Amino acid sequence: MNRFEGLNAQFFELYNPSSGYCTFIVPGILIIVIQQSLLVGIGLLFGKNNERRKFTDEGKLIPSGFSNLESILGKATAYVILYLFSTLVTLVLLYHWLSFPEKGSFWSVYIMLIPFLYAVSFLGIAIGCWFKKRVHALMFIVFVSPIVFFLTGVAWPVESLPPLLKLLAYVFPTTPMIPAFIKLRLIGGGINSVFHEWTVIIIQMIVYLGLALVSYWFAVKSNNQSPKTDAL
């Protein structure tokens, strides 16, 4: 006689209690929405500046790299502060209303959000400087969004992607941020558990800051060599 006969096995999903597709995919989508909406906003803002040939308050070429750095850091900090408030609705209220697992503290996620939002802001400035019109920014970000959704591991496991696509996925800050958010919020891990993701985001932030400086310098120079025009 089997000694286990008569026992009823019960299985529990530790990090997806409802075993639902919504609980599996929506947390990652929330991070993508934060990134893409911020990129759209920055792109529209810089596209408007390009239309009006105005990148500074005085409408003059910024003379030094240090001044460019101050301007970029000031703009990025304004975007980050704004989004730190808006994410309270997205990642706290909405997350709670949908009854998603909350095994970790949101404050650890909040700490992780700061370099993530800076990386996204610098990326937005780096690409936003090249949009000649506001509609170009909107069209480009909408076009890129399905690619981001696929590459960041929400729709398809990152481990199953070809090596080239895995490398391409790290162009977007969402690639390290989504697993970091899942580890911190759904699984309940600490900051030490996301050391790899934290390092990747810091590297992205530094690289995109450098690209933003180059793009901003070219954009200011190009716009101030042409007469300013009013745009609707």
Residue 7: inside a domain: no
Q: For residue 230, tell me if it sits in a domain.
A: no
Lowest average pLDDT, out of 88-97, 122-131, 223-232, goes to 223-232
Give the total number of structural domains in the chain: 1
Q: Count the alpha carbons within 13 Å of 214 in the hemisphere toward its beta carbon.
A: 7
pTM of the complete model beyond 0.75: yes
Domain contains 14: no
Assess if residue 181 is contained within a domain.
Answer: yes
| 101 within domain boundaries | yes
In a domain, 5, yes or no: no
Q: Please give the Cα distance from 23 to 174 (Å, whole number).
A: 18
Whether 50 is in a domain gets the answer: yes
Residue written as token pair 């792109």: 43
Rounded to the nearest 10 degrees, the angle between the axes of helix 195-224 and helix 65-88 is 130
Q: How far apart are CA 23 and CA 105, in angstroms?
A: 18
Residues in contact with 87: Cβ distance below 8 Å, sequence separation at least 6, in sequence order: 34, 110, 113
Residue 100: give the domain boundaries.
28-224
In a domain, 19, yes or no: no
Q: pLDDT (tens digit, 9 = 90+) per residue, 20-69?
A: 566 767 788 889 999 999 999 999 988 887 777 665 544 444 444 567 88
